[in-house]
Structure 1
Amino acid sequence: MTKDQCFYLGHIVSKFSFKGELQIKLDTDEPELYENLESIFVDYRNKLIPFFVEKSNLQKSNLLRVKLEEVDEEADADDLLKRDVYLPLADLPKLGPDQFYYHEIIGFKAVDEVHGGIGAIKFVNDQSMQALFFIDFNGREIIIPVHDKFIQKIDKEEKVIYFKTPEGLIDMYLED
């Protein structure tokens, strides 16, 4: 399994007990969907290593306490601290027609209500305070905030996202 076949679930932030239990900070709006996992992949030295989950328990809002098979001691748990956790893309919950996961819209054509076709979506940066679409327009970069107010329609079949951006936003990127 490789990272491009997976999605980022969270980060191992701490140990919970001397018996090798760990806490994973989940990066999701719906942590309860991941409370009963059978297995996870841990990014260990740039390789995804599978671990079976013996038991898990949701703590607070987005902290998942897990006991992994063959992680039975504090030293084993120490070795997994501060590592990222992934699941296969097939484990993502299904979305409605107007919803999308960031990875699935890469390459979609971006069409603005005023400017028409403005390029293709290169990637979505969700590491900043506001998630942002990065669009390639003939070698120029156009950045549009990911906000329901700016998205008119998503056509997954035709791979097009229709935008209605604030006046001047696209012009700012097209000026020399």
Structure 2
Amino acid sequence: MPTKIQDKCRQCSKLSVESAIARHGTEGDGCWVGELCHKRRTYYKKRDLYNRNRRLKYQGDKESVKQLESITIPSVPAVIVYFYRGRKDEPLHALSVELWVGQQRRATREPVHTLGWKEANVREYILSAIASFSQQYEVSISGVTATVELKPSLCPLEPCPLKVEEIN
């Protein structure tokens, strides 16, 4: 039976490598174990992709897997939404939306703070971004393809309420 996902490691995988080592290395809580942690971080980041590939492998026979490997990559539009929050049950700090077509990023809606937004406001913002991407690039987009969760401490916006500034 597989081991249970460690929430601490899953949260750590959202951090950059430098901040993860600073937080969990010798100067932090001391749980950083070098290569093992790098492997766990990679696994937690790519877990959905690994599981999808595993399901495809077991659904079909070996021939269909070989056919999947030889298929060229289609240029399908994909919308990725970046949520800046610690956990799914925490309030959303900020969000960003990107349009990818094939292997190229075509457009980005810069991150915006979502302090005080309700779920309907977030949904409306995402749908308006999808509509503007569809119109601007003349592509048919069915909805959000993927979501990525990032720690609020990685918020690129300035000024940010999480980053305390001295007021003189």
Bin the TM-score by the shorter chain. under 0.3
Structure with bigger helix share is: 2
TM-score in terms of structure 1 length: 0.25
TM-score in terms of structure 2 length: 0.26
Structure with bigger strand share is: 1
Compare relative contact order (CA 8 Å, sep 6+) and give the higher one, 1 or 2.
2
